[in-house]
Structure 1
Amino acid sequence: MEKIIQITAGRGPSECSWVVSQVLKKFLQEAKTEGFQYVILQREKGNQNGTVQSVSIRLTGKNLEIFLATWLGTIQWIGNSTFRKYHKRKNWFIGAFELKLPQHSEICDRDISFQTMRSTGPGGQNVNKVNSAVRVIHNPTGVQVVAMDSRSQHQNKKLAIARLKEKVNEANLEQLKGSMTDQWENHLNLQRGNPIRIFKGTDFKHQKENKSFKPKRQKLKNDLNKQKWD
């Protein structure tokens, strides 16, 4: 199983970016302890040294839903500003979200259909009489291209496949851009209240009532196993 997670300060101030950096450490430590593999895909630095405005992480492993159920949502830190000594605010909020994985369309031979037809335009009588033009269709996406550059059907087939790959790659890029849009929406839609985790003080300790997640994880694991048997 694979998931991509974003931890973000949204439009919060530098204090929130500092919280992201601290939460990232805790998150990766716990993920490693639970046996998950992770790769940091993107990290946007905050305005202050040692802060992180946003970070995207790819996680792989079994039962990721159980682990992430205790992380995804609003995360709160209660403490004095690390940058403004006399600032009165004590509560700072960041968010952890799951990003949708773009569904890339790979070019497989079994997914391609070919059609031959007569070429049009200049090129002599041979071009117009022989079915040398080739249309290639990528069945999963409906993307199609036509090649009639050459008098050789074989050459046109090669050209059409190359152009099809380029077009499908463009479609994949649009999906990736859509995923990036989701990231920015997460920045904008960060909600405060009802935090999934609460940290306190500069040592970043859990509040007592939120310290143990074993019972919650066990319940989630039992529910997951029950769903598999139903």
Structure 2
Amino acid sequence: MIAQEDFWNDPDTATAKLKERTRISDLIETWDKIFAEIEDAETLLELAHEEEDKEVEREVELQLNRLGQKVKKFSVAIMLDGEDDTKSAIVSINAGAGGTDSQDWTEMLFRMYTRWIDKKGLKLQMIDYQPGDEAGIKGVTFSVSGEYSYGLLKVESGVHRLVRISPFNAGGKRQTSFASVFVYPELKDEIRVEIDEGDLRIDVYRASGAGGQHVNKTSSAVRITHLPTGVVVQCQQEPSQHRNKEIAMKVLQSRLYQLEKEKQNRKMQDLHDTKDDIAWGSQIRSYVLHPYRMVKDHRTDYEVGDVDRVLDGDLDQFIEETLLSGKVK
């Protein structure tokens, strides 16, 4: 395709194809290197057996362990071939059943993802932040940009369940809390979703929570409701009402695109009904702090005991296991 004379007639398509070629070339190069290392290890192991050299056998064993990690990383890379996997992600976290505990749990999840984002070298931009009544967060929306942001984070969509001794209960009783995570691909200019202005209800209000000097002084926050679908988005992080509206429209466009894509794939789910059912039986992952300590993903049955490490942003193991399981497309 690149060799065709009219290849650059459509610069956007041409650029996308060049990126695709680069990705495929990188995968082939990685595979060739892995295959060569496997052949080298095989030859070295045969020599070790012939010479009955235990030290070389141990060296090969270490080499194979390193190769195993490379193969797993490569396997994850070839799973990230979805249409939207290279795009930036828009992430919304909302408190569910559990009152103040769930709002505190939402803040814990937000911290977990920000730590993961920092470790991956990705970039986070706040879109909306709704503080809790007593503690924590009612809801937060932010964008994540960087290599394969959506492809990696899409597996986090669903309900997350926390079991612990409640710090907000004077009786020290065990509390189960829920929060939902929804991840959408962020659209760029080359993909457009037509939105009829007549289908929108736009409300402005005074911002609340962290946001600088403009907070609570002017009606700069914007809430947009898409009447045909019931999708509601809001933004209050910028001092300018115009800028907040611009960001909210981008979020709305991304959510409508995701809804349309699910229809085309015949996998349409009413995301807003799901939001109303952030409770028992719908969780994708459980984080247990009492009476034992464990994090378990219910889609893959993968579990670890080091809860603190996971809550500190060590999510790659869960993301990789879910991608490799093929449970998320």
TM-score interval w.r.t. the shorter chain?
0.5 to 0.7
Gaps of 5+ in 1: 106-139, 142-167
Distance 1:87 1:43 in 2: 29
Matched, 1:73 2:158: yes
Residue 98 (structure 1) aligns with:
183
Q: 2:145 aligns with which of 60, 67, 82?
A: 60
Matched, 1:189 2:277: yes
More helix by share: 2
Q: 2:123 aligns with which of 24, 34, 37?
A: 37
Deviation at 1:73, TM superposition (A): 1.2
Residues 59-208 of structure 1 mapped to structure 2, 5 A cutoff? 59-86=144-171, 88-99=173-184, 170=197, 176-178=224-226, 179-180=231-232, 187-193=275-281, 195-201=283-289, 207=295
Distance 2:199 2:123 in 1: 25
Distance 2:151 2:321 in 1: 9
Residue 114 (structure 1) aligns with:
none
Q: Structure 1 pair 12/99, CA: closer, same or farther in 2 (3 Å)?
A: farther
Gaps of 5+ in 2: 1-86, 203-223, 234-254, 256-270, 297-302, 307-313
Deviation at 1:53, TM superposition (A): 0.6
Deviation at 1:81, TM superposition (A): 1.4
Q: Structure 1 pair 172/214, CA: closer, same or farther in 2 (3 Å)?
A: same
Q: Structure 1 pair 81/102, CA: closer, same or farther in 2 (3 Å)?
A: same
Distance 1:201 1:73 in 2: 20
AA in 2 matched with 1:44: Q
Residues 8-19 of structure 1 mapped to structure 2, 5 A cutoff? 8-10=94-96, 12-19=98-105
Corresponding pairs, count: 164
Q: Structure 1 pair 13/180, CA: closer, same or farther in 2 (3 Å)?
A: same
Distance 2:118 2:199 in 1: 31
Q: Structure 1 pair 62/172, CA: closer, same or farther in 2 (3 Å)?
A: farther
Q: Structure 1 pair 12/171, CA: closer, same or farther in 2 (3 Å)?
A: farther
Secondary structure (helix, strand or coil) at the match of 1:54 reads strand
Equivalent residues of 1:95, 1:191 under 8 A apart: no
Higher radius of gyration, 1 or 2: 1
Deviation at 1:102, TM superposition (A): 7.9
Q: Structure 1 pair 99/171, CA: closer, same or farther in 2 (3 Å)?
A: farther
Q: Structure 1 pair 13/42, CA: closer, same or farther in 2 (3 Å)?
A: same
Equivalent residues of 1:200, 1:207 under 8 A apart: yes
What TM-score do the two structures reach when normalised by structure 1? 0.55
Q: 1:5 aligns with which of 82, 87, 91?
A: 91
Deviation at 1:27, TM superposition (A): 0.8
Residue 120 (structure 1) aligns with:
none
Measured against aligned partners, the alpha-carbon deviations of 1:76-102 in whole angstroms (never above 9, x if no partner) come to 111011211226443211110125768
Distance 1:215 1:31 in 2: 14
Equivalent residues of 2:90, 2:183 under 8 A apart: yes
Distance 2:189 2:163 in 1: 41
Secondary structure (helix, strand or coil) at the match of 2:109 reads helix
Deviation at 1:22, TM superposition (A): 0.9
AA in 1 matched with 2:168: F
Equivalent residues of 1:70, 1:196 under 8 A apart: no
What TM-score do the two structures reach when normalised by structure 2? 0.40
Equivalent residues of 2:94, 2:139 under 8 A apart: yes
Q: Structure 1 pair 26/216, CA: closer, same or farther in 2 (3 Å)?
A: closer
Distance 2:142 2:154 in 1: 16
AA in 1 matched with 2:142: I
Deviation at 1:54, TM superposition (A): 0.5
Deviation at 1:12, TM superposition (A): 3.7
Equivalent residues of 2:103, 2:132 under 8 A apart: yes
| Superposition RMSD in Å | 4.1
